[in-house]
Structure formats: structure tokens, C-alpha cells
Amino acid sequence: MADRHDTTLPEDPPEVQQALEAAEAAEVTARREVVGAVVADHPACVAGWAALAAEGRDPIERYAYARVGYHRGLDALRGAGWGGRGYVRWSVPSNRPFLTCLARLRAAAEEIGEEPEVARITTFLAELDPDWDDRNVAG
């Protein structure tokens, strides 16, 4: 399709990436709190929301974190020129946090029995990246 172009999300600033990497290296018992502090300081950091979605204590918490990350990612996509159509490929590292949020949102939706949303997200992932592989995102 002529109107299907690739969109690349911008990377987080190096200081945000470093803060998140340090937070994700925290002890398991403190990780959610430490990652949450980074996200509180940098709420547009989609990678932070993806990390929180992995650390959620229950399906609703994971769903909520993933949904916020997904919406923050949509904002970033629009800022990068995405108009609701086009590719956002996993092969581009800066796109991975958004796609991770979307995959984790689907997993949490499945956990709570939200099957129509699971189907919509599955379709959306395939539209964003025709080479999508569910093994891209663990947990």
C-alpha cells in the first residue's frame, strides 16, 4: 500500500535510559517501586511503562500500566508523524517499548477475559509489523 510507510519512534534521552536501566537492575523486591519512581519523573518514557507492566502485581495492575504505556506510545507515534496507518516495526529498537506495551496489554487483557480486546490487539500488532512474532516479548 502506498500509504503504509515506516514510522520510527525517537529514543528516550540518554539520562532517562540510564535511570531506567539502573532501576530495572534493582533487587526484585524493590524493582516495581524504583521503576515507578523513574516513570514518575519521566511519564512520557514508554519503556518505563513497559517495565512497570512486567512488574505489576496482578492482571489489573499489569493491564493499567500497559494501557498507559500504549497511549503514551500512540502520542509519541503521532509526534513522529504516524497518522494511524503505517508500520512500526520491532526490528527498530526504539519502537520496541511501544510494541512491548501493546503485547503486554494483550496478555493482561487475556488474563482478565477481555477477548474482543485481545483480538483487536492481535490484529493491530500484525498491521504494525507484518513480521510480528509473539516471542519478541517475554513476560
For residue range 53-108, what is the model confidence (pLDDT) as tens digits? Answer: 999 999 999 999 999 999 999 999 999 999 999 999 999 999 999 999 999 999 99
Where do the domains of the chain lie, and which CATH numbers do they carry? Answer: 14-136 (1.25.40)
* Residue 134 per-residue DSSP state: G
Element counts in the chain: helices (H) and strands (E): 6, 0
Cα 26 to Cα 115: distance, rounded to the nearest angstrom: 34
Cα 19 to Cα 1: distance, rounded to the nearest angstrom: 40
pLDDT at 48 over 80: yes
Q: What pTM did the predictor assign?
A: 0.94
